[in-house]
Structure 1
Amino acid sequence: MSVNIDSRVVAPGSDEYVDEAWRLKERINSQEGVLKQRHDFFTDAYRRSTVHCYLQEDDLVGFAAVRRDGYILFLAVSTEFRGQGIGKRLVARVADDNESITCHARTSNENALEFYEHLGFEIKRRINGYYEDGGDAYYLKLGSDSGLADRISEFVRR
């Protein structure tokens, strides 16, 4: 990863970077048709989460908003910065604080599904009509029984 990318953690209750995260999410939505949350839902969930951020200069290039139980509400990396290990590092930061990590991914979001599968997440179940627009989701889990910390550490070292 480039040396000019900084990491920050936003504590629950803070609005820091919420507008930047919304703009990044919306840019990805317009490019890929994923991350379709409404503004009020997104900002409320963001404020209730611990948010791990990566920034280049003052530009947000990736973030993961995570609940206390290790559930990833949002994970987004700018398309220009994909393939540089930012997503892996975001998941690694979540793994530092949690025994297991879970999330939902749209069944049609091939990029996300490939990414999570590469890290060792397993599909636990399909949920039809999960999203507000009627889209289906997979519930994914990566837990301590799969050597989570060791696996993520191995990916980050690569």
Structure 2
Amino acid sequence: MIREITEMDYPRLMEIWQSAVLNTHDFLKETDFLYYKEMLPTYFKHVDLFGFEKDGELIGFMGTSEENIEMLFIDNDFRGIGIGKKLIAFAITNLKASKVDVNEQNTQAVGFYKYMGFKIVKRSAFDEKGREYPILHMKL
């Protein structure tokens, strides 16, 4: 079931984020991991958040802003069973999302978004903070 996220869900979102990032973002320097972990609750306040619940437990979430999918994280114990697909389909259908930016080094995410129909339209050599994490700008 997909539902809106409330601030009471933030601690669980942090757990999901950490589980996902530690298992998919092996390119991320530890200092940057710690920075993003600290900043994440602030980022939550700037996006519309939706979570996927299974048996009453949040196991994945995404954040959108206008037509952009800003974040998508699935608890590592539940990756590969279609939760990301359901959240993206929800975003496309209900929220009119059509764009996403992805770390180029996160090859699993790049492949996933390509599978979902997104195409690379531009590449930036640095992320929005000027760090050396190339970003692929993708669009449906």
Q: Does TM, normalized by the shorter one, top 0.5?
A: yes
The alignment partner of 2:126 has SS state of: coil
Q: Check 1:70–1:16 CA distance in 2 against 1; reply closer, same or farther (3 A cut).
A: farther
Aligned: 1:128 with 2:125: yes
User: What does residue 27 of structure 1 align with?
Assistant: 19
Residue pairs, 1:49-88, within 5 angstroms: 49-67=47-65, 69-88=66-85
Aligned: 1:18 with 2:10: yes
Whether the aligned pair in 2 keeps the contact of 1:52 and 1:93 (CA below 8 Å) is no
Whether the aligned pair in 2 keeps the contact of 1:100 and 1:141 (CA below 8 Å) is no
User: What does residue 43 of structure 2 align with?
Assistant: 45
Any stretches of 5+ residues in structure 2 without a counterpart? none
Q: Which moved more, 1:42-51 or 1:107-116?
A: 42-51
Residue pairs, 1:84-123, within 5 angstroms: 84-123=81-120
Deviations 1:90-136 (A, max 9, x none): 01111123444211111111110111000110101111111544211
- 2-structure distance, mates of 1:50, 1:125: 25
Aligned: 1:7 with 2:23: no
Whether the aligned pair in 2 keeps the contact of 1:45 and 1:73 (CA below 8 Å) is no
Deviations 1:21-43 (A, max 9, x none): 11111122222326846234321
The alignment partner of 2:7 has SS state of: coil
Deviations 1:6-62 (A, max 9, x none): 32112xxx4131121111111222223268462343212212222111123343211
Alignment size in residue pairs? 133
Any stretches of 5+ residues in structure 1 without a counterpart? 1-5, 143-158
Q: Percent identity?
A: 20
- 2-structure distance, mates of 1:109, 1:41: 20
